[in-house]
Structure 1
Amino acid sequence: MIKKIGIAVLLGVLAIALILFSCNKIINKATKNRTYWNIQNIPKNRVGLVLGTSNKLVGGGSNPYYTNRIKATLELFTAGKIDYILVSGDNSTQYYNEPTVFKKDLVQGGIPSEKIFLDYAGFRTLDSMVRAKHIFGLDSVTIISQKFHNERAIYLAEKKGLYAIGFNADGISLNQGLKVQIREYFARVKVFIDLTLNTQPKFFGDKIEIK
């Protein structure tokens, strides 16, 4: 009996590992050569879509994922690779507002306020991609986040009819970001679940033209 339970557990673990590996491989293959590190090589897009995250860590320190996305966005705009910026993030409570915080730091970095548009209902990457197309009317976009996040976002965008490339913000060391990297594997499995179930954004709302 104990032996059978052990075998069942082992098979379950192997099945989970296979699913994680397969989903990761599919997304990596589909987005190969669609993300860029070099500002000179990335094609121009009218709009850059920066994906939200908290500017602070749980302990209160600065979040390097946030600061590096700000830096990457400023680099793209300064180099003339984007004309407008759409910040898509979580504004689930009056005390937590990712888009507004991003805008403040981008304006402080030299980007004119009128060039920045805010999507307050980007609760998940899926929401951000669907809303970029259907609410903000975009057909193509440059996504700005860390490479692993860009790949997942590009894959989702493609499946939702939005052509996307990615500009990779710097990440952090594997040791520091291990928890995030592990979570990413499960997030990639969730991509296929959402696509199978045709999961929709939490909110749609009125259309907003970026001009």
Structure 2
Amino acid sequence: MKKYIKKTLKLVLIGMLIGGLSFGLINYHVTSFSDNYITSIENVPNSDAALVLGALVYKSGNVSPILSDRLDTGMEIYKNNKAQKLLLTGDHGRKDYDEVNAMKKYAMNKGAAEADIFMDHAGFSTYESLYRAKDVFGAKKIIIVTQKYHLPRAVYIARKLGIEAYGVPSDKHFYPKIKQYKVRESIARCKDYLLVNILKTKPKYLGEPIDLLGDGRVTEG
């Protein structure tokens, strides 16, 4: 019995070591791969669109600070003519919760032309947002906008899906929950590494192709 317990404990420890090593290697691989494509607004190559990843919107319809920073950075890219269009992607899976229309309203208040704003209503995750950017919107060359902790995973997914993607960080303020975000992000990197390299799962929703260089008003809803 003691031999059985020792053997079991040994196998558990080996499993934990392998799991921990894999976790660390995947995180290192994703971040080091993406570092080459993360840059400033001044240095980012001109692209078809700035893809702004969604985040929390309050019940009032106002965007959260982390999302307003993303949108402000996206607008800087747009106004500096680094991107012709804005692709705002987020969660609009329920009638009582709508990230993308709140994002559109914010961008228009900052001076974006309505025809230049595309909304992806089914961007329920980073992986789905990037998959749909290519499959639905035909994205070929984009600038991804989100905070530093999130950018490596987003750029990695996009590049592995075949999009020429660059990242511009949107860290304009201190975020009180940043440590929690970073812990969750390290786990999400492993999850999406498996999704994009092995499982290659399709998003919950796809749909008819939309020309990202056309009129964004076709995405109203």
TM value normalised by structure 2: 0.85
* 1:5 CA displacement: 6.4
The aligned amino acid for 1:106 is A
Partner SS, residue 83 of structure 1 = strand
User: Superposition RMSD on alpha carbons, in Å?
Assistant: 2.4
Output the CA distance in 1 between the equivalents of 2:50 and 2:111: 16
Identity rate, percent: 32
Any residues of structure 2 matched to 1:86-97 within 5 Å, and which?
Answer: 86-97=87-98
- Offset of residue 39 of structure 1: 2.0
How many angstroms apart in 2 are the aligned matches of 1:171 and 1:127? 26
What runs of 5+ residues in structure 1 fail to find an aligned partner?
A: none
- Take 1:193 and 1:206, find their aligned partners in 2: how far apart are those partners? 27
- 1:10 deviates by 4.4
Deviations 1:138-173 (A, max 9, x none): 111111111232211111112211110011110665
Aligned match of 1:29? 32
Please point out which of 24, 28, 39 is paired with 2:41.
Answer: 39
- Residue 50 of structure 1 is matched in structure 2 by 52
Alignment of 1:8-23 (within 5 A): 10-23=13-26
| Alignment CA distance shift 1:98-1:62 (3 Å) | closer
Give the match for residue 82 of structure 1. 83
Displacement of 1:69 in angstroms is 0.3
4+ runs of 1 displaced by more than 6 Å? 2-5
Deviation readout 1:10-48 (Å, 9 max, x if unpaired): 444433321221111111121122111x32111111211
Distance 1:173 1:4 in 2: 48
Q: Secondary structure of the equivalent of 1:17?
A: helix
Counterpart in the other structure of 1:199: 201
Structure 1 match to 2:210: 208
Q: Which amino acid aligns with 2:178?
A: G
The answer to whether the Cα contact below 8 Å between 2:46 and 2:82 also exists between their aligned partners in 1 is yes
In 2: Cα distance, 1:42 partner to 1:209 partner: 23
Which residue identity is paired with 2:56? S
**TM-score normalized with structure 1 length:** 0.88
The answer on whether the counterparts of 1:35 and 1:147 sit within 8 Å (CA) in structure 2 is no
Letter in 2 for 1:145: T
Distance (Å, rounded) in 1 between the aligned partners of 2:58 and 2:35: 31
Match of 2:217 in 1: none
Unaligned runs of 5+ in 2: 215-221
Change (3 A) 1:22 1:94: same
**2:126, 2:154 within 8 Å by CA — same for their partners in 1?**
yes
Within 1, Cα distance between the matches of 2:87 and 2:63?
22
* Count of matched residue pairs: 208
Answer yes or no: is 1:71 the counterpart of 2:72: yes
Residue 131 of structure 1 aligns to a residue in which SS?
helix
